[in-house]
Amino acid sequence: MDVVKVKLQDGSVREYPRGITAGELADLLSKRLAKEALVAKMGGTVVDLNTPVTEDISLEILTFDVPEGQLALRHSTSHVLAQAVQHLFPGTKLGIGPAIADGFYYDFDSPHTFTPSDLEAIEEEMRRIVIADYPFERREVSREEAIAFFQERGEEYKVELVRDLPEDARISMYQQGDFVDLCAGPHVPSTGRIKALKLLNLAGAYWRGSEDNKMLQRIYGTSFVKQSQLDEYVYRIEEAKKRDHRKLGVQLELYSLQDEGPGFPFFHPKGMILRNELENFWREEHRKRGYLEIKTPIILSRSLWERSGHWDHYKENMYFTRIDEMDFAIKPMNCPGAMLVYRTQQHSYRDFPLRMGELGLVHRHEKSGVLHGLMRVRAFTQDDAHIFMLSSQITQEIKGVIDLVDDFYKIFGFDYHVELSTKPEKAMGSDEIWEEATGALRKALDEKGMDYRVNEGDGAFYGPKIDFHLRDSLGRTWQCGTIQLDFQMPEKFDLTYIGMDGEKHRPVMIHRVVFGSIERFIGILTEHYAGAFPTWLAPVQAKVLPVTDRSNDYAFKVKGILEAAGIRAEVDARNEKIGYKIREGQMERVPYMLVVGDKEAAGGTVAVRKRGQGEQGIVTVAEFVTGILGEIGQRV
C-alpha cells in the first residue's frame, strides 16, 4: 500500500494511505476531535479538512480553541453573511469579507441602505443557511476564467481583485449552496459548523481603504461554536459599552475631546491628578532602577530626522513647520533627542549601562477615521527610555526591562502575553545585524523562561522588538510595553564610547516603553477599573458627607485633617438628603465616603462607607487616616 508518514501534534509519526484527507485522519484519531475539527495545519500552512495528504508532512488538527480555528470559522461566517445579503437584497455587489479579531466583516455596494432592523432579517437568513449545512467547496480556475466568471455576475470589485493577481496565478473560489466567492481560504467543512452567530453593527468603509474610492457599507459580526460563548461575548460587549472611557471621562470629569482639537485630548483637573500619580509612580520606580530623566524639544530640524531615518521611513505620519526659512518637524518619537543628549559628553565603558528616561510629548498624524478617544490620538506622551550599553550587557539589560514591565503591570492587576517581532520588509541595516539583534531578544526571553509568540516581519524599521499585550478585566488585550534593540541609531548618530583598550567603540541601544502612551494607558485603566480607580490613583480618595447643615463646619475640619495628611478629599455641603449624596458619591466612584452628623462631630469620628462594600462602621478620624494611608502606600 502506498503510504505517507505524518508527524502528529504529540510528536509521534504514523503511516496513513497516501491521499487521506485531514478530516479523515482526524476521524481515525478521535471521533470527538473529528466533530470539533474546523481546519488543519499541514507543514505550517492552514488548509481545509478535505485537503489530501500526498507527502510526508507534519499535521495538526485545529479546533475553535486555537486562533487559526477561530479565524476559519469567522471567515466562513462572513461568506454566509454575503450569501444572506444577496438573497435578501438582489443587486448587492461584494467587496471583501475577512475575519478579524473576535469577529468578521463584509463590505457591500448595495442600492439599499442597510439599517439596524435589516441586521435582524439578515441574521435570520444566515441561520437558515447554517441549518442547510452547505459544504464549503473549493475549486481553482485560471485568472481569465475567474475574471469572466465575476464579470458575468457584475461583481466589479472581485474582477478588480483578480486583475491584481499574477497572470499565471491559479485562482481559488469557494462555493456554499448557490453562493460563490473569490477566496484563498481555508474554510470550515460546512455552514453547519457555525453554531452561534450575531451581527453587531454597521459602518462605512472606502473600497480598499482609499478615500478616492467609493464608500461601501460594512456589516460587522461574530460567530462561535457554542451559544454560551456568544452569550459571554455579548455580555462583554455590553459591559465594555458601560466602561467606555470616552463616556466615563466626561462623567468623572477626567478628560474630554473637543472639535477644536481633533485627536488632541484635553485633561481636566481630576484627570491631571490621575495622570500625575501615574507619572510620579513612573519616576519613583525608574529612580530605584538607576534611570536618569531627560527632556528633549518637541520641534527639531529636518536634517535630524533625515539622519535618524524617520524622514524616509515615517514622513507620512509627521507634522512639519518652517522656522527661519528652514524645515523642521514636530517629533513623532523621542529617540533622536536622546541621541543628541548622549553626544554632549564623551562616555566611557565605565558609564554603562546608561539609562536615560523621558516622558516625552510626541505628535503623529492619524487619519480622522481611526481616531478613538484616548486610544488613538495625534498627540501623546511616551514613557520612553533609551539604554546605552556594551554588547556583553544586552541580555542582562533586556531581562531587567522585562522585570520592570512585570512589576508595573502587576500593580494594576494586568496579565499579559509577549510577542517577538522580527525584521520588516522596509528596514535599515543588514540581515546579519538583524539576526544578531533578534537572537539577543530571544536569548533574554528564553533565559527568563517566558512563553512568547513570534510575529515575522512586524519589527520597527530600525530593529526587532518585544511587545507586551495586557489583558484587562473584560479579557481584551492591549499592546502597551515594548522593548526594541537598536544597532542602527548609534551608527546613524555616530555615537561612541571609550573602551578598555582606550579606543572608540559603538554602543548598543535599547528603546523601551512601559505604559506605551500615558494617554492610552489612562484610557485602558478607565475601562479596566470601570472608573473605580484604586485608592492611590483616585482623583478624590475620600468624600465627607455632612448629614445636615449643622455638620458642615465639622465636615470641613475633617477635610482639612485629611488634606494635611496628603489625602485628596472633598466635602459635599449641598442642601440635599444624605441618601442622595451617597448615591452621587457612588456614581463618582469615590473609594471612601465619610458620613458625619452631630454624633460624629461630638466624638471626633466618621461613619465610613467603602466603595463596593458599604458601611464599615464608625472610627476616629485618626484611625481612618492611618488606614487609608496604608492602603495608598501599598498601591492597592
The one-letter amino acid code at 490 reads P
Which residue in the list 48, 86, 158, 335 is annotated as catalytic?
Answer: 335
β-pairing, 299-301 with 326-330? antiparallel
Mark whether 246 is an active-site residue: no
Q: Where are the beta strands (DSSP E) in 444-519?
A: 452-455, 465-471, 477-486, 497-498, 504-505, 508-513
Which conformational region is residue 185 in: left (phi greater than 0), alpha (psi within -120 to 50 degrees), or beta? Answer: left
DSSP string, 374-389: TTB-SEEEEEEEEEEE
Mark whether 465 is an active-site residue: yes
Among 299, 301, 298, 329, which Cα is nearest to 315's?
329
CA distance 366 to 456: 25
Which conformational region is residue 635 in: left (phi greater than 0), alpha (psi within -120 to 50 degrees), or beta? Answer: left
Which residue in the list 41, 75, 270, 511 is annotated as catalytic?
Answer: 511
CB 357 within 8 A of CB 383: yes
DSSP state of 153: T
17-30 burial, b at 16+ Cβ within 10 Å, e below that, comes to: eeebbbbbbbbebe
Mark whether 494 is an active-site residue: no
Helices marked H in 344-486: 394-411, 431-447
CB 53 within 8 A of CB 22: yes
DSSP state of 578: H
Mark whether 550 is an active-site residue: no
CA 233, distance to chain mean position in Å, is 18
Query: What are the Cα distances from residue 341, in Å, to 305, 495, 588?
Result: 15, 11, 44
Among 82, 312, 42, which Cα is nearest to 180's?
82
CA distance 470 to 482: 12
Which residue in the list 386, 512, 520, 543 is annotated as catalytic?
Answer: 386
Largest CA distance in the chain: 98
Mark whether 382 is an active-site residue: yes
Which residue in the list 74, 187, 465, 528 is annotated as catalytic?
Answer: 465
Query: What are the Cα distances from residue 59, in Å, to 76, 138, 390?
Result: 22, 20, 43
Omega before residue 116 within 30° of 0, cis = no
β-pairing, 196-206 with 215-224? antiparallel
Which residue in the list 245, 364, 559, 568 is annotated as catalytic?
Answer: 364
CA distance 428 to 420: 18
Which residue in the list 384, 467, 472, 486 is annotated as catalytic?
Answer: 384
Annotated catalytic residues are 335, 364, 382, 384, 386, 465, 511
